[in-house]
Amino acid sequence: MPTAPHTAVIGLGAMGLPMATRLAAHLPVTAYDIAEDRRALVTKAGGNAATSPAEAARDADIVLLAVRDQAQVDGALFARHGAAESLRPGTTVILTSTVGPDAARTTAARLAEQGVLTVDAPVSGGPVRAGNGDLLIVVGAADKALDLARPVLELLASTLTVVGPRPGDGQSLKAINQLLAGIHIAAAAEALALARGLGLNPATVVETLRHGAAGSFMFADRGPRMVEAYEDGPDPEVKSRLDIFVKDMGIVTGIAKDAHVPVPLAAAAEQLYLLGERAGLAAHDDSSVVTVLFPRGSSPKDPSPEDPSPKDPSPEVLSPKSPSPTNTPSPTHSENNSPEGEAR
């Protein structure tokens, strides 16, 4: 293989486009996306555009997939005009999508029938870091496949961790990454929703807490976007769709169940993203999940002043002439609500 492998990039979404433009500055790149305007951006960056995955992969040494989910992986590879129609034995497919361990292994097995190698290499870091070659990439691959893919991976990653020798190993570690990321975003949303409910300035809360022990990358990154979610005007720029975390937290809870490991915080976060999806936020930025907890247009609830009026006398209060309670059962102490009744 030449030092600069001919690379096909299939999928030019939030992560695929900056990865493609980064690679096009250093390698021969042919890219495909269903959206023509996304293909044009790669051409502007010095790459070439194709009209189908099969055309993009025709002369490729490396095929990098950057699509949303396993259904799109299957379509990009195995559907009519999919890349598998053009893949030659010895070609290496880099799977950067988060699809889960079992899906990665299934894909690798199908490609192996054609003599095609698979590098399971899910990425993390966001679009800006993708364009700067500053991603975290976790890899599951045999040595031969990894050696062939390394020139591409090293252009994209500042941290490249080889988890194990099998496709699916990288997906396992990426799932743990997504567990933490999904919980952190949900926790940030809960904190800022409560801040609004208490009448605090959420921008001040973000700026203050990001410097303290409670701060995190996700709080500092998503917090300002959660503040923007309430501002008038167009919705904030979508940097990471909410329904990505519906998918990813579903992967997390699914593999945790298979492993018989309880993940209660991940399960709670998954439910929050599902609520956001049902509220019509699927295609919005994931930071918009804060509006599920404190809807737009809501106002802080003022504490109710104490009622100064005296409470009505209890019906159990007995006048001096009332029968003794030892002779007349009180209606508030039936068998069903007595301590003995509860014990039954």
Q: Which residues are catalytic?
A: 174
CA 197, CA 205: separation in Å to the nearest integer? Answer: 13
Q: Which of 276, 277, 279, 257 is nearest to 267 (CA)?
A: 257
Q: How far apart are the two ends of the chain, measured CA to CA in Å? A: 77
Number of Cβ within 10 Å of residue 222's Cβ equals 27
Relative to beta strand 135-140, strand 123-124 is: antiparallel
Q: CB-based contacts of 199: which residues, under 8 Å, 6+ apart?
A: 300
CA 83, CA 76: separation in Å to the nearest integer? Answer: 6
Query: 104-128: string of b/e by CB count within 10 Å (b at 16+)?
Result: bbbbbeebeeeebbbbbbbbbbbbe
Are residues 252 and 186 in contact, defined by beta-carbon separation less than 8 angstroms? no
Specify the 3-state DSSP secondary structure of 9.
strand
CA 192, CA 205: separation in Å to the nearest integer? Answer: 8
CA 149, CA 65: separation in Å to the nearest integer? Answer: 13
CA 87, CA 286: separation in Å to the nearest integer? Answer: 36
